[in-house]
Amino acid sequence: MLFNSLPFLYGFLPVTYLVFWRLKHKNDRYIWLTLTGYVFYAFWDYRFCGLMALSTVLAYAAGLGLRVWESAQLRRLCLIVPITIDLCLLGFFKYATLGLETANRVAAWLDVPLFLSGPHIILPVGISFYTFHTISYVVDAYRRTIVPTRSFFEFSCYVSLFSQLVAGPIVRFRQIETDLEYIGRRGPGRTWHLGWSFFAIGMIKKVLIADTIAAVIDPALARHETLSTATAWLCMLGYAYQIYFDFSGYSDMAVGLGYLFGIRIPQNFNSPYRATDPSDFWRRWHISLSTCLRDYLYIPLGGSQSGRWRTYRNILITMLLGGLWHGASWTFVAWGAYHGLLLIGYRAARPGWDALPVALRRSATFGLVVVGWVLFRATSFDMALDLLGSMFVPTAGAAVAGTIGLLMAVAVAAVAAHSSRNTFELSHRWSPATGLSLAALFAACLLVLYAGRDTPFLYFQF
């Protein structure tokens, strides 16, 4: 089920909302949000609900153990067992096919008579996100950053909360622990306007901007070998805005849904295309992931406290694994390596870079990010090399159908991404005229959905 679908808007959300606020006790609300989370997930494939339940039970049990046990050995056991099982499940469902394909390619390259095959593996939607939720909970409990909850339904509500279940943000338990604890004491009026405002803006970003751009660039990139230099750059600019408005739109909708149920989901995007350097970009882009990689990988590796070369190593390892987290393809690993090298390059050249004018730094950072999106969007290295060749070597090519519409959509997206305030910078207390305009744009989204264009969010695949 998609946020931008009629069954969700006219069925699932109203029923979930009305029943939730009819319930008075916090435990009843935990149970209701848990049940609705599993129903929401089952619309994709009910067979994988058990996988999420297993991850939930393991992390909850580990939390109880970490709550009462002081023995270092038992605490390490509570840390290692659930994380190992979670990572094994994630590795099997997400990376087993990549491992087999890579082994076969290496064997063919070495002229070794080997061919490995396995079953067709379906990737459970959202597995990377809820796995991060449970792992972060266990690690924080082990570090004594949080006191693990005794309530199973409070924890299961946290893991299966439908607003952030399948595509994030990656919300740590401590970020919403207070809201969960007081979920039974609040009424719907306090954050109702924030909820619907965030949700409407996110819907507009997704349906009217991201999907409009995608309708033009997806067919063009499907025949990428025919693109000229100008159209290759235009398509990749379009993709940069598509992925931003698609994912930040989803994140805004998730935040809005959280507000509707009295839960404050943290900001996930902070105008990343205004970044002035690669490090600044990663402080603004997919904040929940970048901070998790920092706190649970980069800092434990030693961070920047172990000398220059070890710092570079830690950055590269972190970004390589961050790239791999996005998908089972070596192009994602290459994208992670690319950003790792950008971060290392920035640290090495920081004094000179920071002395440049702000406008130049922003433009250069955005250009570097757009080039990186080639690796992220490409389905193979051949496609990536074709696109990069077209972009950097003057090339003639075929025209792209819908170029005028794409130029208009990219222009609107550019203004919104580079010059306008982001959703968290808005007051969300609208004048009548602005409120009517927002309502009209939301109605336009509904008309698009009535026409049958409820396209999935890009990050569902991760």
Assign residue 377 a region (left: φ > 0; alpha: ψ between -120 and 50; beta: otherwise).
alpha
C-alpha span between 53 and 60 (Å, rounded) = 10
- Of 326, 339, 418, 428, which one is the catalytic site residue? 326
Burial bucket for residue 441 (CB in 10 Å: 0-12, 13-18, 19+): middle
Query: Do the beta carbons of residue 33 and residue 157 sit within 8 Å?
Result: yes
Nearest CA to 211 among 460, 456, 28, 459? 456
C-alpha span between 324 and 376 (Å, rounded) = 11
Burial bucket for residue 29 (CB in 10 Å: 0-12, 13-18, 19+): buried
**To the nearest 10°, the Cα dihedral for 144, 145, 147, 153?**
-130
Burial bucket for residue 105 (CB in 10 Å: 0-12, 13-18, 19+): exposed
Residue 161 has φ and ψ, to the nearest 5°, of -55, 115
C-alpha span between 205 and 371 (Å, rounded) = 23
Residue 277 has φ and ψ, to the nearest 5°, of -165, 165
C-alpha span between 302 and 315 (Å, rounded) = 10
Q: Residue 326 catalytic?
A: yes
Query: Do the beta carbons of residue 374 and residue 388 sit within 8 Å?
Result: yes
Burial bucket for residue 99 (CB in 10 Å: 0-12, 13-18, 19+): middle
Query: Do the beta carbons of residue 192 and residue 260 sit within 8 Å?
Result: yes
Residue numbers annotated as active site = 326
